[in-house]
Amino acid sequence: MMTDPEFALLLARIQFAFTVSFHFMFPAFSIGLASYLAVLEGLWLKTKNDLYLDLYKYWRKIFAITFAMGVVSGIVMSYQFGTNWSVFSDKAGDVIGPLMAYEVLTAFFLEAGFLGVMLFGMDKVGKKLHYFATLMVAIGTFISAFWILSVNSWMQTPTGHEIDALGRFIPGESWTTIIFNPSFPYRLVHTVMAAYLTTAFVVGAVAAWHLLRDKMDLRARKMFSMAMWMAAIVAPLQIFAGDLHGLNSLEHQPAKVMAMEGHYDSHPNGAPLILFGIPNSEEKRVDYKIEIPKASSLILKHDLNAPLDGLDTIDDDKEPPVGIVFWSSRIMVAVGFAMLAIGMWSLFARFRKKLYEWTLLHRAALIMGPSGFVAVLAGWITTEVGRQPYTVYGLLTTADSASPLDAPAVAASLIAFVVVYFIMFGAGTLYILRLMNKSVTGDEKTAQSGPIRSAGITPASNRTITSHTGEAS
């Protein structure tokens, strides 16, 4: 039977996992979408082709809803460090606090400050200034990723700090050692590319949906082509970056890689790559496994016979939960290769001049629409569960990080988060899907029920639209 503090800790962990997973969906999409919007508006300004403007306006509405959900779910995260992980905040605040403050100062304000002009200001400022606002929003999303991933990476591979008499982490000589900690460059590249792929596959699926209805839809063709170029170029790069990130984890967080691989035992003469199986942590073995001999050593050490340590070299109470990490990493890799397959297929289709006619490809792209979200979540679970039982790797355990809260308080808040998130973000997602279901039209004013922007943008409802034709659209 769990004690009350143990139960409160478990609830707090579930709450953090739930709220961060929900939150991560929005920036994973909006980082890529902000860049896509900047590309579309740039192409419109350069080519004067209104097709790009139509696409820009179409995706801007979707961006507005996504961004709003990202903002409000993100505010939750910035307070949850204190509400639920107060000991961690006290101990690590001197190091991670300034990085998060920089995120607010250099990214959040930039995004939010220019968002209003980007969404509603097209008729109020010049074209170039409006494009500047779009660029600032896109750059802001990237700067935000930079800082928050630096914080996360420092927690995974802490460097540049000292520990004072109270056991608190304090900055050492140089902040750059903290910011550019060993896993940060890999995590940044891998995560930002994941965001780009997520967006590419959403755009590709929406385009495919409209191509399945009408193969001559020029705007859908353009979207599809752009999305498939991204898939073809970024998916292989991402697999390569993921491999490098894995090698970096092997160096700094070997237990995480052991759990990913399902290596309960050490393999002095070359470790097998377990493709599938069921990790059995009771017996410390993988049941029903299908494996390729020595392939794991080949991937991780680039040598068939290289020895690889297993979880038998790690104390039981310092191991991550193997089953979750084993499965989530396989899902991530499988989705990554499926993305690569779509990218290659699209190149072949382009070569055969069937990109816009190949119904099967369109169906496949449609199914792959949510694949980025699946991969991002699976990857996030792999890296976060894989670094357990620590919040600051090797130095501060999760159990020692939690707030002194009573279990009923955390239980009540967890239930409230689950109910509110599913209803509110469920509704927001539903509206996004409805927008996606509409085809991109050249004349937004008549096709849409509001002026330009969905919610915010739209000044009033339909009745005002008719009387105000010079809408923001």
Partner 1 sequence: MIDLTIIWAFIIAFAVFMYVVMDGFDLGIGILFPALQPGAERDKAMNSVAPVWDGNETWLVLGGGGLLAAFPLAYSIILPAIYPPIIAMLLGLVFRGVAFEARWRDPKHMSFWDFTFTSGSIIAAFSQGVTLGALLQGVQVSGRAYAGGWLDWLSPYSILTGLGVTIGYALLGATWLIYKTDGPVQDHSYRLAAKLAPATIVSLAAVSIYTPFLENEYWDRWFTMPNILFSAQVPLITGIIIFALYRALKKRHELAPFLLTLGLFLLGMIGLGISMFPYVVPDTITIWDAAAGESSLIFMLIGTIITVPFILGYTAWAYWVFRGKVSDEGYH
Give yes or no for a contact between 451 and 471, defined as CB atoms under 8 angstroms apart: yes
Q: Least distance (Å) from partner 1 to the CB of residue 412?
A: 8
Q: Least distance (Å) from partner 1 to the CB of residue 14?
A: 15
Q: Least distance (Å) from partner 1 to the CB of residue 468?
A: 4
Q: Least distance (Å) from partner 1 to the CB of residue 397?
A: 17
Short-list 439, 451, 443, CA closest to 122: 451
Q: Least distance (Å) from partner 1 to the CB of residue 317?
A: 24
Pick between residue 100 and residue 341 the one whose CB is nearest to partner 1: 100
Q: Which alpha helices (DSSP H) does 253-394 contain, by range?
A: 254-261, 295-301, 322-351, 359-367, 371-386
36-65: burial string, b at 16+ Cβ within 10 Å, e else: bbbbbbebbeeeeeebbbbbbbbbbbbbbb
CB atoms within 10 A of CB 32: 27
Q: Least distance (Å) from partner 1 to the CB of residue 300?
A: 37
Structure tokens at 143: 């700067």
Dist. CA 393–CA 381, nearest whole Å = 16
Pick between residue 443 and residue 466 the one whose CB is nearest to partner 1: 466
Dist. CA 315–CA 77, nearest whole Å = 32
Q: Least distance (Å) from partner 1 to the CB of residue 252?
A: 24
Pick between residue 73 and residue 183 the one whose CB is nearest to partner 1: 73
Point out which residues pair with 267 in neighbouring strands: 308
Pick between residue 311 and residue 457 the one whose CB is nearest to partner 1: 457
Helices (H) and strands (E) in the chain, counts: 16, 6
Q: Least distance (Å) from partner 1 to the CB of residue 409?
A: 4
Pick between residue 79 and residue 288 the one whose CB is nearest to partner 1: 79
Pick between residue 39 and residue 68 the one whose CB is nearest to partner 1: 68
> CA angle, corner 155, sides to 154 and 160, nearest 5?
40
Pick between residue 353 and residue 434 the one whose CB is nearest to partner 1: 434
Pick between residue 165 and residue 216 the one whose CB is nearest to partner 1: 165
Q: Least distance (Å) from partner 1 to the CB of residue 104?
A: 5
Q: Which alpha helices (DSSP H) does 253-321 contain, by range?
A: 254-261, 295-301
Q: Least distance (Å) from partner 1 to the CB of residue 6?
A: 17
Dist. CA 204–CA 223, nearest whole Å = 7
Pick between residue 218 and residue 419 the one whose CB is nearest to partner 1: 419
CA atoms within 13 A on the CB side of 221: 13
Pick between residue 295 and residue 418 the one whose CB is nearest to partner 1: 418
Give yes or no for a contact between 187 and 153, defined as CB atoms under 8 angstroms apart: yes
Which residue has 């995560």 as its token pair? 191
Give yes or no for a contact between 454 and 435, defined as CB atoms under 8 angstroms apart: yes
Write the DSSP assignment of 248-308 as a string of letters.
HHHHH-HHHHHHHHT--S-BTT---EEEEEEEETTTTEEEEEEEETTHHHHHHHSSTT--B
Residues for the chain: how many in total? Answer: 473
